[in-house]
Amino acid sequence: ESTELGHYRHYMQKEIAEQPAALASTLERALQLGFQPGLFGPQAEAIFASVTHIRILACGSSYHAGLVAKYWIEEMTELPVSVDIASEYRYRLAREPANTLIVAISQSGETADLLAAVRASRERGNVAVLAICNVPHSSLTREAELVALTYAGIEIGVASTKAFTTQLGLLFTLAATLAQQQLSAPPEKMAEYRHQALVLPKLCADTLAMEQELAQWAHELSHAGNALFLGRHQLYPIALEGALKLKEIAYIHAEGYAAGELKHGPLALVDEHMPVIVCMRNDRLADKVLSNLREVEARGGQIYLLGEAGCAAQAPFAHRSLELPACGELAPILMTIPLQLLAYHTACRKGTDVDKPRNLAKSVTVE
């Protein structure tokens, strides 16, 4: 793809818009070949068969992708999963359980803390390293036994967008592949996973079409000094990612929280000046999220609801609501897009340097 801006104002805006195509490219092989271990390298079948624990290592947005993968792998397979921030893991005396597969996630493949953490994991007795990376010839891919590439294309904006959602696409493929190999999911489930992956790019394109409404939300948000992002289950890491995007490019202090933790602290901050952006699925946890939202409403917080179809009617008290199409397990990918657009338009309103936020670098190659 081209590195020209074309009609876009910023690279970040262009990269957000490229997500349907980037996801289609990243998921293409899995859709053609099925959820086969071979997608992760010739040795993957034998390595996956011996693995009894997965440890995910990453930094920044890639770490948030790892947190979503934990929910997926735990739900779709019987494997226990741990997720660590690379800069913490490298200095922690973590003893690896036998047969641990390290999954190292990185857009650049050059993040210094991640490379050091991967090396530390070797001394702690991992069985192999699987690199999930956007750069084919990088330090990380050279060090890993197994490699799977995201096909996001070059990402220029410092704040990760298409690299993050394609990481999620590939991690979903990993979870489905492990489920298939372990036979922990019935064939109907496997067919459902395939269908979800197949329709995802189109649903992402539909979600991009909500940009104008999100630009209006951004107009309001640009006046805020703080913001709270809430989610549960697989959408909890997406709340973290939404808050990170707003901090990175719009310079608004934002926190992502597991909605169930609201009453353990952040509720004390909620008043009419606190925008609360909530990501919600219409699933078995919907009632729990609604009761969290009532707590916010009772304190005058301004609720911005991003929900799957059917959620808005359940929260008529929300200040603003937008509904996204339901896409099953892949909801975290779809739900990321409005949060990117919200941060982007808020930053534009504030006139920040969207593609090169102050003090931040695209790739952190020193400790």
Active site positions, annotated: 362
In the complex with ligand G6P, the residue whose CB is nearer, 59 or 179, is 59
DSSP reduced 3-state for 342 = helix
CB of 45 to ligand G6P, least distance (A): 27
Instruction: Give the C-alpha separation, 316 to 15, whole Å.
Output: 33
Q: Closest Cα partner for 175 from 148, 200, 151?
A: 148
> β-strands 226-231, 146-149: how paired?
unpaired
Least spacing, CB of residue 248 vs ligand G6P, in Å: 7
The amino acid present at 352, given as its one-letter code, is: T
Q: Give the Cα separation of 196 and 266 in Å (integer).
A: 35
Residue 15 or 308: the one with the smaller Cβ distance to ligand G6P is: 15
| Sites of contact with ligand G6P (CB under 6 A) | 59-62, 106-108, 111, 114, 158-160, 360, 362-364
- Pick the closer one to ligand G6P by CB: 59 or 311: 59
Residue nearer to ligand G6P on the CB measure, 155 or 308 = 155
Nearer to ligand G6P among residue 64 and residue 320 (C-beta): 64
DSSP-derived 3-state class of residue 130: strand
DSSP 15: H
Q: Count the Cβ atoms, other than its own, within 10 Å of residue 284.
A: 8
**Per-residue 3-state assignment (H helix, E strand, C coil) for 191-217:** HHHHHHHHHHHHHHHHHHCCHHHHHHH
Residue with Cβ nearer ligand G6P (203 or 250): 250
Nearest distance, CB of residue 252 and ligand G6P, angstroms: 17
Cβ–Cβ under 8 Å, residues 22 and 151: yes
Of all residues in the shown chain, the one whose CB is closest to ligand G6P is: 60
- The H helix count followed by the E strand count for the chain is 13, 10
Shortest Å distance, C-beta 307 to ligand G6P: 26
Token pair in block for residue 224? 């805020």
- Return the residue matching tokens 């289609």: 24
Rounded to the nearest angstrom, the gap between the alpha carbon of residue 171 and the centroid of all alpha carbons in its chain is: 10
For the bound state, the minimum distance from the C-beta of residue 158 to ligand G6P, rounded and expressed in Å, comes to 5
The distance of closest approach from Cβ of residue 81 to ligand G6P in the complex, given in angstroms and rounded to an integer, is 19
Nearer to ligand G6P, 161 or 292 (CB): 161
In angstroms, give the least distance from the CB of 237 to ligand G6P. 13
- The residues, ordered by sequence, that sit 6+ positions from 161 with a Cβ below 8 Å of its Cβ are 12, 15, 16, 19, 155, 340
- Please name which of 176, 44, 142, 143 lies closest in space to residue 101, comparing C-alpha atoms: 44
Can you tell me the distance from the alpha carbon of 222 to that of 245, in angstroms, rounded to the nearest whole number? Answer: 13
